[in-house]
Copies of this chain bind each other. A is one copy, B any other.
């Protein structure tokens, strides 16, 4: 009998750092948030793979989760927990997604919640658990129990240590910070994220965690997070494959001392919303920068669509097209493939009003190539590592921006060739 479907997969992979990587930023301390890491050894490796975040009493929580019809236990339970709105701890397991593992998987999560809630003297539902890694192998309960016991004894760690510990196939640690003035108080936000794709192979899922010292009611935090999500995490794609485990959680400890935010009528709510959106956009773009095999970061800008939502769908049709992504990998100003991707999107479009460009230079306007089309400036733009694709539908006022990366041999290497 096999120990599981992927026992012989080489892991972690020897992946070189993404050429699009950014340095880990300076990150503020957030009052009421304490980070710790430990080695649970969920895989046969010698690295920290268990992250524990303790949150002050009174912390609000909100979350957005994968819409997969086959979600992990962690996602199912998290969806219920955020409706209560209070959090005291977060546990992230790396190396095992615990998805599609039936009752054994559920028992492992419940055990972690019980162990931590006993330690903190809180409700089990105030302990949030995420897991990322191989699908179809129940999270080993003995390793989880020992790992939790160990992590509760360790010294606090840095944001960068935590960002590295939640990672799987990521090639660099990803963090972001922001701040806002709320009712005369400066509130701070800090966040970490992991992911090399909406899903990436077996063991990469997008997991993002945002922490703030602002005081904010859970319902309003949920509203702002959902709203930010629609223009940030919902606008990125690496490979069109949606994870069973995607999760973004926002925790607000209230330690900044501002009067609690409950609606947009409160002073500083707009500023906080803008800071939250900013940090979500930073995180989303970081995931694309670590897209599997990515050599180029691609921004797709859609204007003139029938609606913003229609623009987003057209943008994602372009960003998910293997032919557009391979053309950009090949530094080919192949705008005909963009026409194709607009045409297949299933959204309103009028071929004879469509305009397409790269890097701010139009190639085609109003349904046909420019009479004096000159490929040179577009070709020069495509040699860079930050690419933009502009599409104007010419039929309405809807717009959207979507981010993706190119499709290269590296993607095939990571997903087909890495068997030991």
A interface, CB within 8 angstroms of B: 1-2, 4-6, 9, 66-71, 97, 99-105, 134-137, 199-202, 239-244, 320-323, 326-327, 329-337, 339-352, 354, 363-364, 366-369, 372-376, 406-409, 411-412, 415-419
Contact = CB atoms under 8 A, between A and B. Distances in A.
Contacts of A200: 323
Given A104-B368, A368-B100, A373-B5, A340 B412 contact: no
Nearest to A371: B1
B239 A340 contact: no
Nearest to A414: B326
Number of copies: 2
A319 to B, nearest CB: 12
A340 B416 contact: no
A160 to B, nearest CB: 29
B69 A416 contact: no
A320 B240 contact: yes
Contact of A375 (B2, B345, B368): B2
Contact of A412 (B71, B105, B244, B407): B407
Contacts of A341: 241
A69 B411 CA distance: 30
Nearest to A372: B1
15 contacts: A5-B333, A5-B369, A5-B373, A69-B342, A69-B347, A69-B349, A69-B351, A70-B340, A70-B349, A104-B368, A201-B327, A240-B320, A240-B321, A327-B415, A407-B416
| Chain A interface, >50% SS class | loop
B242 A343 contact: yes
A333 B9 CA distance: 11
B322 A411 contact: yes
A100 B369 CA distance: 8
B419 A332 contact: yes
A334 B368 contact: no
A412 B326 contact: yes
